């Protein structure tokens, strides 16, 4: 990676943040609107005078649960895309800075995110957990894992290590448009905080390398 006359780290963070809006959020919004419209139309059908009150109530309960299930499926896709985007960002940085910050020693951690946290501390001296809104990164990853590796119920890790914001009315992992907007905004702030920490680490490493060069 070559240092040029603009803040590459900030630019990279901003591009990643824009991608969350133009891909993840855009896909979610389109799909959610379609599900919501279909649900609304179905509820209007439930007003048919041909249904008695008991059947109507059961039918409405069925429609509501169907809509909740659709939102849960959409949440899994969205959380997976967010997780993939963040993990890719972390790995692209370590690969891009491999010359200046070569890997050294075993990277510890049971999960992929834990290993990333360990690697950033080891290679860059950056504590990801202390950066603003890292909690949002962790919650998204653990929420995705809860759904992907289970039945949609929150995992023990999710309940113990996050603020458990992604729980719906029946206690399952889910997502709303408002919460997605909040989460993406938090991820953008985290990305910018990471870019500042990386820039400082890069400059410090560059200065240290120059000091080792003997005077000509």
Residue pLDDT, tens place only, 85-122: 999 999 999 999 988 888 877 888 899 999 999 999 99
Q: What is the pLDDT of residue 214?
A: 60
Q: What is the pLDDT of residue 48?
A: 77
- Tell me the per-residue pLDDT of 26-58, one tens digit each, with 9 for 90 and over: 999 999 999 999 999 998 887 877 777 888 888
- Tell me the per-residue pLDDT of 138-186, one tens digit each, with 9 for 90 and over: 999 999 999 988 888 999 999 999 999 999 989 999 999 999 999 999 9
Largest CA distance in the chain: 94
pLDDT of residue 5 exceeding 60: no
Output 24 or 106, whichever has higher pLDDT.
24
- Under the banding of pLDDT at 50, 70 and 90, the label for residue 6 is low
- Tell me the per-residue pLDDT of 121-133, one tens digit each, with 9 for 90 and over: 999 999 999 999 9
Distance CA 189, CA 212 (A): 35
Distance CA 80, CA 95 (A): 22
Name residue, tokens 């803040």.
7
- For helices 177-212 and 26-45, angle between their N-to-C axes, nearest 10 degrees: 170
Output 7 or 210, whichever has higher pLDDT.
7
- Under the banding of pLDDT at 50, 70 and 90, the label for residue 3 is very low
């Amino acid at each position: 990676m070559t240092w040029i006359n603009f803040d590459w780290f900030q630019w990279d963070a901003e591009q990643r943040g824009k991608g969350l809006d133009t891909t993840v959020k855009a896909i979610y919004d389109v799909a959610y609107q379609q599900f919501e419209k279909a649900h609304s139309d179905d509820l209007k059908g439930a007003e048919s005078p041909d249904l008695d009150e008991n059947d109507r109530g059961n039918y409405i309960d069925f429609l509501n649960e169907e809509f909740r299930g659709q939102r849960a499926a959409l949440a899994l896709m969205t959380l997976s895309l967010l997780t993939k985007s963040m993990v890719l960002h972390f790995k692209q940085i370590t690969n891009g800075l491999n010359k200046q910050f070569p890997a050294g020693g075993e990277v510890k951690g049971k999960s992929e995110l834990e290993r990333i946290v360990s690697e950033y501390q080891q290679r860059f001296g950056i504590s990801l957990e202390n950066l603003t809104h890292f909690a949002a990164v962790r919650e998204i990853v653990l929420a995705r894992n809860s759904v992907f590796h289970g039945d949609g119920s929150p995992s023990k890790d999710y309940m113990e290590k996050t603020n458990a914001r992604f729980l719906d009315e029946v206690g399952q992992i889910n997502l709303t448009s408002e919460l997605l907007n909040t989460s993406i905004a938090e991820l953008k702030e985290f990305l910018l905080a990471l870019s500042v920490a990386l820039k400082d680490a890069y400059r410090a490493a560059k200065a240290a390398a120059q000091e080792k060069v003997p005077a000509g």
